[in-house]
Structure formats: C-alpha cells, structure tokens
Amino acid sequence: MKSGTKYFVWISAVLILVNMYLIFVVAPPDMNLGEVQRIFYLHVPMAILSFLLFFIVAGLSVWYLIKKDPKIDNLSNAFAEVGLLCVVLALVTGSIWGRPVWGVWWTWEPRLTTTLILGMIYVAYVMARAYTENQQKSAKVASVLGIIGGINVPIVYYSVKLRSIHPEGTVWDLPSSMLYVFLFSILAFSVLIFVLVRLRYHVLETESYLAKLELTSNQKTLENL
C-alpha cells in the first residue's frame, strides 16, 4: 500500500469512528420514528454518493472515449464498483428503515425506485465488463454504458417522480442537531469511498501492468522461437 493511501485510510478510520459516536450518542432520537431513524445517517449519504459516483463514471467515460487512456478506464471501473457497493447499501438500509416506518420492506417511492434502477444500470455495467474478454473492448463497452446510464438517471428520476403522489421532505428540514451529524456523515463516508476507490484503482492498475508484462514476455518468447 502506498504511503499516501495509508494516510487516507487512517483519516477515514478516525472519521468513521467519530461519525459512529455522533450518530449513536450525540444525535437525538427522532420524535416520531425513534431510534430506527439513526439508519438515515448511513442510508442517505450512501444514496447521495451512489448517484454522485455514477455521474463521475459518466464524466470519466466521456474522457476515456476522447483520450483512450487505460488509466482513465481503470479509474472509471473503480468508481463504478464502489458505486455499486453504495447502491446496495442504500437499498438495504432503505428497506430496513422502510419496514418500521411504512410497514413494508419496499415501496415504489420515486427516490427508492430511481436508486433501484440506478443499481440495475450499475449491475449491467459490471456484467458487461465481466462478459467482455479484451480489455480495450471492455473499456469501450463500459464507457458507452457509463455515459448512457449517467444521462438516463435524471430522466428516470423525473419520470418516476411524475407517477408518484408521495410528499417529499428535504434534509434541510432537519433540526440543526441532526443536520450537523448528517453533514458529518456525508463527509466521513465520502472520505471512506475515496479511500476504497483509491485502493481498487491501485489493484486495477497493478492488474493492467501484470497483463502488459505477460503480453511482452509472450511476445519475446515467440520472437526467440
């Protein structure tokens, strides 16, 4: 592990521990929902980050198609894989939250539905990569999906929202004691996600380097023959 990454891992660990303290000790329980509302501090940042990461993937995909640099593709891949983790966590925590609040594990509420569809696009992205043999082909396929997926998410949200009559609150409606904890949660999880992306990117870069070495050594063996 590079020294810079180690540094970020430690910062992230400290932030997450402080975040846990703020969530479970400092933040007051919700007046209506009680203790179960504390899952909000994990659920909402994960949902926000999953959307943000997918827009980053879309941006990186455009950049890759222009520059054709494998490093950009590896970075985009790292963001997408961590993004998929965020979507899964957002959906699972959303379900756990929804059960006591709405009495069901799942409801077709616009934000949940959009997150689910975003998750399906992430899954298609990861599957398309896994099912493509050549790295260059895989990068192109993934970039196309990254761009179209990124453009599609706001349209999905708009169309799902039109269908729904559910009232929607915003985080700015929270009392300040909860809002600070929520904002700190976003910061702590953003740093954690940044560290995970960085680690995954290093692994992908190392894999690419090894693949290149293998190719060169095979070429040399063929030349010697």
Partner 1 sequence: MNFIKIMWFMVAKDLLIELRTKEFLSASLVLGLLLVIVLNFGMQMSAADWIMSGPGILWICFLFTSVIAVGKVFENDFNTDALLGVDLLGLNRDFIFIAKALSVFILISVMELILIPVFIVLLGFNPISLFLLLPVVLFNIGFSLISTVFAVVARQTKSKDLMLPILLLPINLPILIAAVEMTHIISGEFVFTDLTNWLVVLVGFDLIYLVICPWIFGIILDE
Cα dihedral angle (80, 85, 89, 90), rounded to 10 degrees?
Answer: 0
Q: How far is the CB of 169 from partner 1 (least distance, A)?
A: 22
CB of 13 or CB of 124, closer to partner 1: 124
Residue 137 to residues 18, 58, 73, 131, 134, Cα–Cα distance (Å): 43, 17, 11, 10, 5
Q: How far is the CB of 143 from partner 1 (least distance, A)?
A: 8
CB of 117 or CB of 195, closer to partner 1: 117
CB of 45 or CB of 149, closer to partner 1: 149
Q: How far is the CB of 106 from partner 1 (least distance, A)?
A: 17
* Cα radius of gyration rounded to whole Å, the chain: 21
| Pairwise CA distance, residues 202 & 195, whole Å | 11
| Pairwise CA distance, residues 107 & 154, whole Å | 20
Closest Cα to residue 43, out of 83, 91, 2, 1?
91
Q: How far is the CB of 109 from partner 1 (least distance, A)?
A: 14
Please report, as a single letter, which amino acid is at residue 156: V
| Residues found near partner 1 in the complex (CB under 8 A) | 65, 117, 120-121, 123-124, 127-128, 131-133, 137-138, 140-141, 144-145, 147-149, 151-152, 155-156, 158-160, 162-163
Q: How far is the CB of 92 from partner 1 (least distance, A)?
A: 19
CB of 21 or CB of 158, closer to partner 1: 158
| Pairwise CA distance, residues 54 & 151, whole Å | 10
CB of 17 or CB of 155, closer to partner 1: 155
What single DSSP character describes residue 104? S
| Pairwise CA distance, residues 2 & 118, whole Å | 32
